[in-house]
Amino acid sequence: MKEVILCKYGEIILKGTNRGQFEAQLIREVKRRANLVGNYSVRYNQSTVYVEPADDDAIANIDVLYEQLGKVFGFAGLCRAAVAEKTVESITAVAKEYIPEKLRGLKTFKCESKRSDKHFPLSSIELSGEVGAAILEAMPEITVDVHNPDMVVRIEVRDEYAYIHAGQDKGAGGMPLGSAGKGMLLLSGGIDSPVAGYMMMKRGLTVECVHFESFPYTSEAARDKVLQLAQELTEYCGKIKVHIISLTHIQEMLRDNCEEDYFTLLLRRFMMKLASRTALANECPVIITGESLGQVASQTLKAMCVTENAADCPVFRPLIGMDKEEIIRISRMIGTFDTSILPFDDCCTVFTPRHPRTQPELEKVLVEEAKVDFNALVEEAWATRNTVVLHQEL
């Protein structure tokens, strides 16, 4: 019996004349993941992508690919389905063989049919009745419940074949990766920034990262932790670049020359300037942060306005209205939480003020900033940059 994976479109189904561009991005990502696993054919029709094993090894690895396709942005749902010829006899025979294992241990089911091929001789209701009778013959211990079944068996009569499946898993949703352009993520070692990156990937943005380190005040282990977080994000994007910039001298100059209460704000302004420069140098028109309104002293409304003033491109904050519990839930879901909570400090914990300003005025911040040579320090930090490229690993 032939089995395929059916991936159902999400919101790109609503796109108009430019829908083909979104489909091309989606198919490219499906093929990339399929090639990682084995030899599969990929085609699309009627708002569905069909992924079919091409040899025995591909059949053996279909579970691995199914898991991978569940992380492809742009699909609302996916399922594994048996393939039948478009005859009543073939459909009922395949259903009788394929479906019982899917219903094992359940008490009730119902059948639903959809005929994209209107030339099929039976109506949808008639076909559902035929398949339901075949399943009942194979499983006399189960019953039909059309109102509240434990499982819905679906039969789809499409252009070339009919497909029978039971149970559909939720897809990753969102828009196809790369369909919305590129953005530069400020990636720290915390919980929030990887989630922010994931959220923007889900909206179709290809993400690169900039990470700020303060060696020797921060350790090699802290840097490795951030690279591990970036590696975990490749599960959703395939490849990611991490640009690493040292802030050590900047932080020492702020410590030696500026009022302690302003350290964090001034440091964030340097980050915004360097992140903007990194973004524009890598054709990313926006930067992305993991800021959430009011979460810490540097994320009050006034503080964020002061720090964003130093940016040279728009700042996206996908977590701005989320509370910590919501962010942690997503972090666990995407697999970055356990790494994020490893006990290694990042640059934001170096020279932390005892009483940081939470309601700063830009004029006073600029007075403090003028106590150091802002542009010279930016150039010095920019010269320390290096880039690490990470690829998804199965």
pLDDT score of 346: 76
The residue range of the domain holding 200 is: 182-391
Same domain, 151 and 43: yes
pLDDT score of 117: 86
Q: Which residues of the chain have pLDDT under 50?
A: none
Same domain, 270 and 234: yes
Same domain, 370 and 229: yes
Assess if residue 378 is contained within a domain.
yes
**Measured between alpha carbons, how far is 155 from 116 in angstroms, rounded to an integer?**
11
User: Contact 150/108 with Cβ under 8 angstroms?
Assistant: yes
CATH code at position 319: 3.40.50.620
Residue after which a domain boundary falls, among 112, 138, 170: 170
Assess if residue 381 is contained within a domain.
yes
Residue after which a domain boundary falls, among 170, 201, 218: 170
User: Contact 251/380 with Cβ under 8 angstroms?
Assistant: no
Same domain, 231 and 379: yes
Assess if residue 208 is contained within a domain.
yes
Same domain, 7 and 122: yes
Residue after which a domain boundary falls, among 170, 203, 224: 170
Same domain, 265 and 328: yes
Same domain, 199 and 330: yes
Same domain, 56 and 126: yes
Assess if residue 176 is contained within a domain.
no
- DSSP code per residue over 11-69: GGGG--TTHHHHHHHHHHHHHHHHHHH--EEEEEETTEEEEEE-SHHHHHTHHHHHHHH
Same domain, 111 and 191: no
pLDDT score of 349: 74
User: Contact 285/314 with Cβ under 8 angstroms?
Assistant: yes
CATH code at position 158: 3.30.2130.30
Same domain, 189 and 334: yes
User: Contact 236/171 with Cβ under 8 angstroms?
Assistant: no
CA 167 from centroid of its chain's CA atoms: 23
pLDDT score of 389: 98
For the chain, the domain total comes to 2
pLDDT in tens, 230-239: 999 999 999 9
Same domain, 217 and 163: no
Assess if residue 175 is contained within a domain.
no
Same domain, 276 and 386: yes
pLDDT score of 394: 85
Other C-beta atoms lying within 10 Å of the C-beta of residue 16 = 5
Q: How far is CA 240 from CA 95, 201, 206, in A?
A: 43, 11, 9
Mean pLDDT score across all residues of the chain: 95
| Residue 320, Cβ density class (10 Å: 0-12 exposed, 13-18 middle, ≥19 buried) | middle
**Measured between alpha carbons, how far is 305 from 368 in angstroms, rounded to an integer?**
16
Q: Which two tokens stand for residue 347?
A: 């640059």
